[in-house]
Chains A and B, each alone.
Chain A
């Protein structure tokens, strides 16, 4: 319970045995009144067992679906168990659970709240095509949402009851669908989207990619996903 809301933290995880135990323990230590659901997205390592040992509820997908599949499962669990708020947190430890109450507070005047880097807190920087992609995405989505959104691909977000209901039945499984397309979909259907500045930490495990070619491909795919999301029903 945070502010009289039943809160479920959903952590989609694929082969995160290196960090999942610490992430779950940290969330539960920081927020003892919330439930933690780890969705094991077809991991081949010990992710599910370590998450359960750390005290999380674990849902194991039989094979890898991608973040979208894992998150729809999370929202369905939240919907069926009558949670008021579902919060998505990455399994690599870059999201600080101390910001969770801030996200929940922001839901008082929004349906979907994004924990955003680049919004004043922390020192996260990117350059090149990846930066252009992010600039394009935040420009278009800010227009759609009628508010300034600086970090549209953030995986740190909170949904209230009505957004949970929408996402429980509709959540794209495609590349970038879990971030960009869900935002466009929510905006076009009149859900209020807001952002809250958060500082991101270094990942506990895994490394971000810095290849310019990959960044270029990312830009192209981001543009394609955005265009499709705008014209899709």
Chain B
């Protein structure tokens, strides 16, 4: 095995490890994902340094080289990660949908309550105020 290639793969593994640790340290990455990637790196980095480690296992399942086995397992792993992320996004969309519906329901109830207390007509004005506040908030966000 080429020594320079081993150095390259080992360095890339360490860089990725550093990026994940830094993201975790800055609380940018939820630990469930961080643990997943850290676990992956714990497996990957020794393999980057000693690519021959899996040759034996690869031979037993009928794959000529350990590197091919790593490649194959890597693709399967990434596929599963993508499926998992799609699942997470679907779940998040369902959650934000429920929140949006709750918000609309609450706003409607609030308007009705205001109308009951202040008499008809007042709710319309307050709806305008709510709407204006929202629009202004939107503009502020745009300016930032």
B101 near A57 (CB under 8 angstroms)? no
Given A57-B108, A57-B112, A73–B101 Cβ distance below 8 Å?
Answer: yes
B108 and A61 within 8 A (CB): no
Q: Do A73 and B124 touch across chains, with their CB atoms under 8 A apart?
A: no
B100 touches A76 (CB 8 A): no
Which residues A29-75 have CB closer than 8 A to chain B? 39, 48-49, 52, 57-63, 65, 69, 72-73
Query: Chain A's nearest CB lies how many Å from the CB of B124?
Result: 7
Q: Does B107 contact A (CB under 8 A)?
A: yes
Contact A173–B97 (Cβ < 8 Å): yes
Report yes or no: B101 in contact with A76, Cβ–Cβ below 8 A.
yes
A61 partner residues in chain B, CB cutoff 8 A: 100-101, 103-104
Rounded to whole angstroms, the CA-CA distance of A77 and B101 in the bound complex is: 10
Residues of A within 8 A of B108 (CB): 57-60, 77
Query: Does B43 make an interface contact (CB < 8 A)?
Result: no
Complex CA distance for A62 and B127, rounded to whole angstroms: 13
Q: Give the number of residues in A that approach B within 8 Å (Cβ atoms).
A: 19
* A82 CB to nearest chain B CB (Å): 14
- Assembly CA distance A179 to B76 (angstroms): 37
Q: How far is the CA of A48 from the CA of B127 in the complex (A)?
A: 10
Instruction: Tell me which residues from 57 to 99 in chain B have a Cβ below 8 Å from any Cβ of chain A.
Output: 97
CB-CB under 8 A from A62, the residues of chain B are 100, 103-104
Select A52's contact among B97, B103, B104, B127, beta carbons within 8 Å: B127
Question: Which residues of chain A are within 8 angstroms of B127 by Cβ–Cβ distance?
Answer: 48-49, 52, 58
* Least CB separation from B130: chain A residue: A60
Across the two chains, which residue of chain B brings its CB closest to A77?
B105
Partner of B104, one of A49, A60, A80, A173: A60
Does the CB pair A73–B104 fall under 8 Å?
yes
Q: Of residues B97, B104, B105, B107, which shows the largest number of chain A Cβ atoms within 10 Å of its Cβ?
A: B104
5 tightest A-B CB contacts, nearest first:
A59-B108, A59-B104, A73-B101, A61-B104, A62-B100
Q: Give 28 CB contacts A-B under 8 Å.
A: A39-B104, A48-B127, A49-B127, A52-B124, A52-B127, A57-B108, A57-B112, A58-B108, A58-B111, A58-B127, A59-B104, A59-B108, A60-B104, A60-B108, A61-B101, A61-B103, A62-B103, A62-B104, A65-B97, A65-B100, A65-B101, A69-B97, A69-B100, A72-B101, A73-B101, A73-B104, A76-B101, A77-B105
